[in-house]
Structure 1
Amino acid sequence: MMLEFGYTASVNLTSEAALQYQEGFIISRHGRDIGDVTELVFWVQTNTGPAKLVITGEKPVFFVANERVSAAQQTLTEAAFRFHCKALALCDFLHREMTGFYFNTISDATRASRLLQAEEFEPYEADVRLTDRYLMERFICGGLTFTGTAKQKNGFVEYRNVKAKASDYSTSLSRVSLDIECSEKGVLYSIGLDGEMDSRVIMVGPTPDDAEEMPWIDWVDNELELLKALNAWFIRFDPDVIVGWSVVDFDFRLLIKRAAFNKIDLRLGRGAEKAHWRDSNNSRQGFITLPGRVVIDGIDGLKTATYSFRSWSLESVSREMFGEGKAIDNPYDRMDSINRMFRDDKPALAKYNLQDCVLVNRIFADTHLMEFLIQRTRLTGIELDRIGGSVAAFTNLYMPRLHRAGYVAPTLTSENWIASPGGYVMDSKPGLYDSVLVLDFKSLYPSIIRTFLIDPLGLIEGLKQDDPSLTVPGFRGGVFHRETHFLPAMIENLWKARDEAKRQGEKAFSQAIKIIMNSFYGVLGSSGCRFFDHRLASSITMRGHEIMKLTRDLIEAKGYNVIYGDTDSTFVSLGRQYSHEEADAVGQSLVAHINQWWDQHLLDEYQIPSALEIEYETHYQKFLMPTIRGQDTGSKKRYAGLVDKQGERHIVYKGLETVRTDWTPLAQEFQQTLYQRVFDGEDIDDYVRTMVEDTLRGHNNEKLIYRKRLRRKLSDYEKNVPPHVRAARKADAVNEKLGRALQYQHGGWIEYVITLNGPEPLEALVSQYDYQHYVDKQLKPIADGILPFVGKSFDALSMPQLGLF
């Protein structure tokens, strides 16, 4: 059975009684050429163990507009390419009919598309990888049902003549946390491995007399034997997933390098297949491929799941989550300690090594990160280790549906890119308020897409229509077909799935759906997406502006004061202090009124049902909307509010110094205490004076540390060199003098203080602190943000004390 554009369709396996079939979950995917044919390999985990699915002979394809087919054929024939063409019932977004160009190998298809692009042809979808196309055209997202000719191998079953289709199958994956310890020159000392199947450290060194008391340490004679033992461990315990902290760009980069030095293959893939390393073309990032396994870096995974930490070091994340981390944090102290332990106390080094592995596993477990990544794959089909991946996820879901509607996907291009307006941000009304309500539109942008039928195909089909009754108007010339579209239904299905996941308490699944659903606007507004069209993105954001402004009018017509609005949230001052019961009643009444108004308005104006839903989110008993520093104008995306619910009081900070990593602990502690005192009506005069006095007397030195990231190479900073760069240069000057490796030349995090001689790094501090700097630049700005609203002045409170010094 063939689809009209030439792909093998999914097979109804259940109807083929003669074939045995089973379900699996894809761990890794690989495509390559074997001679004159393609070979696709999908490693899957099944309920009976790992399986290797080998598919040969799939033909790479791209599409060319019929009007240029003859010229393209001549160009490729003259270049001696082997290919065949097939006219298809497909067209591009300009409604030009398409022909498919099919090739025997991935290499030929890649070289042919590059030649045509150089000759100013447009080969559509030439950048789609064959493995991805095979899966997406069958709507396979992680789970699949397959059948084929089976052959038992050592530790897995290999299947050939494979047929596959989509399945909802999922499974838990076995995991090991890996961490290495090494010398400053990169010579391996030990490798830690912690997983449910085994936990141990492989250590270079003579076997001690008391080795039996430490069965979790394997002793090897040298680095070569260490790598051999690592290969053997993976064959024996066979994990699906390898996790770690900077595990790709540090641990595996070094393992690959040391394996090459020792002239040994790093065979960590399933079936003892070789590990493959690839450096990125335009960054310092590298990529590791282990057939049959997946490597997931904890930092990248947590960022993908939208976690945020003050610092991404393992020590900092561990302390923030568990209140514990490594005992040594300074890199040079750490290196000295590691060298000392390797020389004098190898069991201590082994414990230190294994601790990192255990901490990473705890982070993965507490954040349910592995579950999140599995659910993301089940929803979108992208690889488990894909960083970010919003564009790829959208493409996987949308492209096969587009094909079945008779279209090929547009080519990725950044030409004629027109930016769309951002989210609505209202001018704020600064002040210190009693009882402020926050009303929040639930998933505003996804609900706009659902309501107003915003969709790439819907735009193309809508623009064809002469009858306006067949379309829903957008902005900047966009109109959307009322019947022909995919994205609104995709979001509606995700929405329902998330509601069900929340009811079932499946937090990882719910979070995965939320991130994917909310990413669709960003994708459509990104020049990195092949479906970008400024009419799509603008029809979302500009509709959001309209909705927020009309909602503000509805609230103010009820007699309340809207003091701020931000993308999908509206802040409403009730004008006096309300009890929680009174505030809740007002909030629920406003929500009911607004939702009912939008339901009726959209039916009357556009004849469409509304998916818009505003919710009553928060009652702030006290609320501060500050001014822009040094001005009378209200700030944006910066506020603080006191929540007092059922006796639990806490202050929410948005955009203020407390939640910013580039302010000192002194400023953050001062802000938190000062705001709490103001909100509670407590005396603040003595507190401000004491904080200033203690700082000037040197009682707060441990709180005066700045921590900032160097985002470029140190040599790239030439003009207007900021303090943290000056501190980093001083640190590396000391490192060079002491004969140590330079630490900051390629970026990283620097901790420093401001002294009477300027910024100095914490690890090379020689001058006296500039205490007046911290009063003027850390305490005063915090105080000036709130004191004027209670009729006080930082200068008036602190100046009398300055005469003492």
Structure 2
Amino acid sequence: MSLSKHQGFILTRHWRDTPSGSEIEYWLATDSGPLKVLLTAQTSVAFVESRHRAAVQAQLSARSDVELRELELKSFQQEPVLGIYAKHFRQLGRLARALQPLGVSLLEADVRPHERYLMERFITAGVMLEGGRIENSTLVNCKLQPAPDFRPVLKVVSLDIETSQHQDLYSIALDGMAERVVFMLGEPPTEHMQPPGFQLIYCPTRQAMIEHLNEWFARNDPDVIIGWNVIQFDLHVLQKAADGCATPLLLGRERKPIAWRTHPGKQGYLFAPMPGRAVIDGIEALRAAVWSFPSFSLENVAQELLGEGKDIGSEYDKMAEIERRYQHDKPALAIYNIRDCELVLRIFEKAKLLQFAMERAHATGLQLDHFGGSIAAFSHHYLPRMHRMGYVAPNVGDVQGKSSPGGYVMDSKPGFYDSVVVLDYKSLYPSIIRTFLVDPVGLTEGLHAHGPARFIKGPRGTLFSREKHCLPEIVTTLWHARDEAKRARNEPLSQALKLVMNSFAGVLGASECRFFNPDLISAITLRGHEMVKLTREFVEKRGYEAIYGDTDSIFIWLKRTHTNEEAHAVAAELARDINAWWKQTLLEEQDLESFLEIEFDTHYKKFFMPTIRGSDVGSKKRYAGLSVDAAGNEAMIYRGLEMARSDWTPLARQFQEGLLSRVFQGAPYREFVIEYTYSTLSGKKDDLLIYRKRLRHRLDAYVTHVPPQVRAARIADEYNIRIKRPTQYQNGGWIQYVMTKSGPEPLEARQSPIDYEHYLAKQIQPIADSILHPLGEDFATLTSSQQTLF
């Protein structure tokens, strides 16, 4: 490879201490293939307040490889700091632990070398490489600079395995690259015919399967491994199979093993880092991109996104059929196995999950397959800018206290309405940060202000510097980048930037963040409260009525029926006037430029705000409406109601949708209520009676309070044990059950007749009355005249 400038995308990153110092390793995807970059003899740095010099020197008296330097930096307490430069990163951790009993804090000692190297150079995912030397196909000691526009084509493999009910490995499928293959345990049949479209390779032992898999990865060399629950199940089972036959599983580049580690906060949750290859789980990627499904099973997501799924039914049917195919029809099992790989590839393509992951890495500075990490993303952006402002960061826990109030939720006015418009503040919290210069450094400057310097007054007596701040500029950069992404119709980038930008306010309210400060986050959320209240006053002075508001939205009743064109015009005029009022008010009163922008969101031709069940008080975060867009297209919208919640039965959701749509459309609804009730009691809707709920704990953890889903799960697993089938629910999971005369019973072991009265009283009637009462009717009266039918 030429040593001239070269661009790459960071796939994985790692550090290690060596005799010559800390060493940083990056694996990159480039246009000419994968590239390993090694930066040797890197010095690690932390900081300490200068007043602790003697204590630090006492700890370092016998060490010549750690140096103290005077720096033009200070702590958030305005104390000057010293830089501690160590040959090995682990030395900083040992020093921090030694100083802790003395009450001395080592600042930023937890920032790992490979992260600090990137953040201090403002590098996120794309890099420009310059100089260096080639040693054994590795680029050593080159210079890295940001390359924010570089987007390589990544080589992706979809991996899926099939196992017995006891997780004995049967087959491994690999799809997405030229060499599509299934490795199958067993001898080939006498008449061995290859299935169409992929290669089926029979392996006499599991050891042979693992060896074939290792060779496939070395030969095909993918950048990214994708799958469904691919780390917690597929890779974990492969590792156990490899360990069981004393054969190394070498899926990383350079035939390196997986460096397994567990999540410190999630028991049993695994990470599977490996050199040079990112591992992206489809479920986690969808959740990170804010997709929502009642179930994230591959079958359900494939049905909803692609309109098709697999060819095996329930979990029990699936295991029995897999066993049958393995014993009697291995080619059919191979087809089923690679079909899963294909579905995952198509879901990734449909939802643009790989593009989203890449754009998120560019936006956050986090590794491609790191989907959490809002705090880490904040630090990646903030620390280098804060250093250039002359500050070093505090440690986690330096500031104590309770977090701030959340978003403002206005008391609602329940009932049915015509012509309701919704105005929504665009990126409310980021716009508050930009407008009022909310910032950790800015607050520190305000806390220690002396003299007549001008500051911005915030809630709870806070003061923010007008001159020294970092976060408003960071948010502004992300904001402009998102506007550009939207203009370019780059939806994955736009979504990634939006999520990152909006997460920064929440990070400041997280006690796990080094910049946590209740006053800081309150300066954002309480300002939001004030804005919604002032907006309410503004619209009511115009003669309209605010019937609800939630964090960044306000629901305005126009007081009389408007045509769709009239409602859209009123909403646009209100938004324009509110924005102009903010600009004028903030400029005149506080000499601030307003970045607050309210915009028209929705016109509801019909709108319903229910009461809290069993009271006359209006509910919050629960409503329904018949929306109409500018072109006149109508759509039913449900928020927070049973219709939109997965823990209610389909019976309840269908009933609520049917009743509300009839009321909104002015169609006969009494007959619908009566007929729906009759159909339920007569057994015509039995397929809608299924509860589907999640068991969030181990089954034996429920002692004092045993909810219906737990009772059903215990019945199911007792049944599984009786028929010598593996238990399904001991460690949690999802259970489907119905309510019977004998209580909750699982679908797979139901014996008692259905308790229709339960569904009438607990599912249909509460929903019916919440809608009928504002209309002057109730469920009991409406159905009592039909009792003879029931």
Work out whether the TM-score is over 0.5: yes
Cα distance in structure 2, aligned partners of 1:374 and 1:27: 10
1:704 is matched with: 689
Alignment partners' CA distance in 2, 1:86 and 1:245: 50
- Deviation track 1:658-677 (CA, whole Å, cap 9, x = no partner) reads 11010000111111111110
Once the two structures are superposed, what CA deviation does each residue of 1:517-575 show, in whole Å capped at 9, x if it has no partner?
11111011111111111111111111111111111111000101110111111111112
- The residue that corresponds to 1:590 in the other structure is 574
1:203 matches 2:184: yes
SS of residue paired to 1:57 = strand
Match of 1:54, SS? strand
Query: C-alpha distance in 2, partners of 1:729/1:754?
Result: 15
More deviation, 392-401/189-198: 189-198
Aligned AA (1:178): L
Specify which of 562, 580, 583 is matched with residue 546 of structure 2.
562
- Judge which range, 110-119 or 384-393, deviates more: 110-119
Distance in 2 (alpha carbons) for counterparts of 1:704 and 1:108: 62
Question: Match for residue 629 of structure 1?
Answer: 613
- Return the letter of the residue paired with 2:335: K
How far the C-alpha of 1:22 sits from its partner, in A, is: 1.1
Larger deviation, residues 670-679 vs 202-211? 202-211
* Residues 1:726 and 1:76: Cα distance change in structure 2 (over 3 Å): farther
After the TM superposition, which residues 514-663 of structure 1 pair with which residues of structure 2 at under 5 Å, given as runs? 514-645=498-629, 646-663=631-648
Aligned counterpart, 2:678: 693
Distance in 1, Cα, partners of 2:151 & 2:269:
31
Contact preservation (8 Å) 1:437, 1:618:
yes
The letter for the 2-side match of 1:704 is L
Work out whether residues 715 and 745 of structure 1, in 8 Å CA contact, stay in contact via their aligned partners in 2.
yes
Distance in 1, matches of 2:326 and 2:654, equals: 40
Q: Which residue of 2 aligns with 1:21?
A: 5
Please point out which of 738, 751, 771 is paired with 1:753: 738
> What is the number of residues matched between the two proteins?
784
Change (3 A) 1:493 1:279: closer
How far 1:150 sits from its partner (Å)? 4.2
Match 1:794 to one of 774, 779, 782: 779
Residue 189 of structure 1 corresponds to which residue in structure 2? 170
Distance 1:410 1:389 in 2: 18
Deviation at 1:188, TM superposition (A): 1.1
2-side partners of 1:768 and 1:162: how far apart?
73
The separation in 1 between residues aligned to 2:182 and 2:612, in whole angstroms, is 54
- Structure 1 equivalent of residue 217 of structure 2: 234
Q: Percent identity?
A: 48
CA contact (8 A) 1:471 1:479 kept: yes
Distance (whole Å) between structure 1 residues aligned to residue 264 and residue 661 of structure 2:
51
Partner of residue 151, structure 2: 170
Indicate the residue corresponding to 2:700 in structure 1: 715
Distance change >3 Å, CA 105–CA 450, structure 1 → 2: same
Give the corresponding residue for 2:488.
Answer: 504
2:461 is equivalent to residue 477 of structure 1: yes
- Deviation, 1:35, is 3.5
- Residues 1:767 and 2:752 are matched in the alignment: yes
Alignment of 1:161 with 2:161, yes or no, is no
8 Å CA contact 1:256–1:277 kept in 2: the answer is: no
Q: Distance in 2 between matches of 1:729 and 1:212?
A: 44
For the 8 Å contact 1:427–1:564, the answer to whether it is kept is yes
Summarize deviations over 1:238-289 as a string: whole Å, max 9, x none. 1100011110011111111111111111111112122221223442101111
- Within the candidate set 21, 25, 29, 1:45 is matched to 29
Aligned partners of 1:41 and 1:55 also within 8 Å: yes
User: 1:314 and 1:736 mapped to 2: Cα distance?
Assistant: 27
Give the superposition deviation at 1:742: 2.1
Deviation readout 1:96-142 (Å, 9 max, x if unpaired): 11122222223333233223234432111111111101111111111
Structure 1 unaligned residues grouped into runs of 5+: 1-17
Deviations for 1:71-117, whole angstroms, at most 9, x for unmatched residues? 13323547x79522222221110011112222222333323322323
Which whole-Å CA distance do the structure 2 matches of 1:384 and 1:620 have between them? 40
SS at 1:362 equivalent = helix
- Correspondence 1:665 to 2:650: yes
| Partner SS for 1:408 | coil
Larger displacement relative to structure 2 (353-362 or 408-417): 408-417
Matches of 1:293 and 1:227, distance apart in 2: 18
Q: Which moved more, 1:132-141 or 1:641-650?
A: 641-650
**One-letter amino acid of the structure 2 residue matched with residue 204 of structure 1:** L
Amino acid at match of 1:754: M
From 44, 48, 54, the counterpart of 1:70: 54
Give distance in 2, aligned partners of 1:19 and 1:203: 44
- Once the 2 structures are TM-superposed, how far is the Cα of residue 152 of structure 1 from its aligned partner? 7.1
**Structure 1 residue 68: Cα displacement:** 1.4
Quick one: structure 1 residues 778 and 21, their matched pair in 2 at CA, closer, same or farther if it must change by over 3 Å? same
Tell me how far apart the structure 2 counterparts of residues 237 and 19 of structure 1 sit (CA, whole Å).
Answer: 26
Distance 1:258 1:19 in 2: 42
Instruction: Confirm or deny: 8 A CA contact 1:181 1:189 kept in the other structure.
Output: yes
Structure 1 residues 213 and 754: CA distance shift in structure 2, 3 A: closer
2:226 aligns to what?
A: 243
- After superposition, the CA RMSD in angstroms is 1.7
One-letter amino acid of the structure 2 residue matched with residue 726 of structure 1: R
Q: Which residue of 2 aligns with 1:738?
A: 723
Runs of 5+ in structure 2 lacking a partner?
none
Paired AA for residue 263 in structure 1: A
CA distance in 2, matches of 1:469, 1:703: 67
In structure 1, the residue matched to 2:322 is 338
Tell me which residue corresponds to 1:123: 106
The answer to whether the 8 Å contact 2:160/2:230 transfers is yes
TM-aligned CA deviation for residue 791 of structure 1: 2.2
Deviation of residue 182 (structure 1)? 1.0
| Aligned counterpart for 2:246 among listed residues 260, 263, 278 | 263
Query: d(CA) in 1 for partners of 2:449 and 2:694?
Result: 53
SS in 2 for 1:276: coil
Corresponding residue number in structure 1 for 2:125:
142
SS at match of 1:110: helix
Retained in 1: the 8 A contact 2:709–2:737? yes
Give CA deviations for 1:429-484 in whole Å, capped at 9, x if unaligned: 11100000001111111111110011111111223334566111111231111111
Bigger mean CA offset, 253-262 vs 792-801: 792-801
SS in 1 for 2:520: helix
Q: Which residue of 2 aligns with 1:448?
A: 432
What TM-score do the two structures reach when normalised by structure 1? 0.95
Give the Cα separation in 1 of the matches to 2:448 and 2:593.
Answer: 24
For 2:79 and 2:724, the matched residues in 1 are separated by 66
Structure 1 letter corresponding to 2:742:
N
1:216 aligns to 2:199 (yes or no): yes
Distance 1:493 1:694, change over 3 A: same
1:81/1:108 contact within 8 Å kept? no
TM-score normalised to structure 2 length:
0.97
Task: Tell me the CA shift for residue 589 of structure 1.
Answer: 1.4
* Alpha-carbon distance in 2 for matches of 1:658, 1:686: 20
Amino acid at match of 1:351: I
Distance 2:261 2:591 in 1: 54
Tell me how far apart the structure 2 counterparts of residues 533 and 202 of structure 1 sit (CA, whole Å). 54
| C-alpha separation in 2, matches of 1:48 and 1:351 | 34
SS in 2 for 1:739: coil
Instruction: Note the C-alpha offset of 1:148.
Output: 4.2
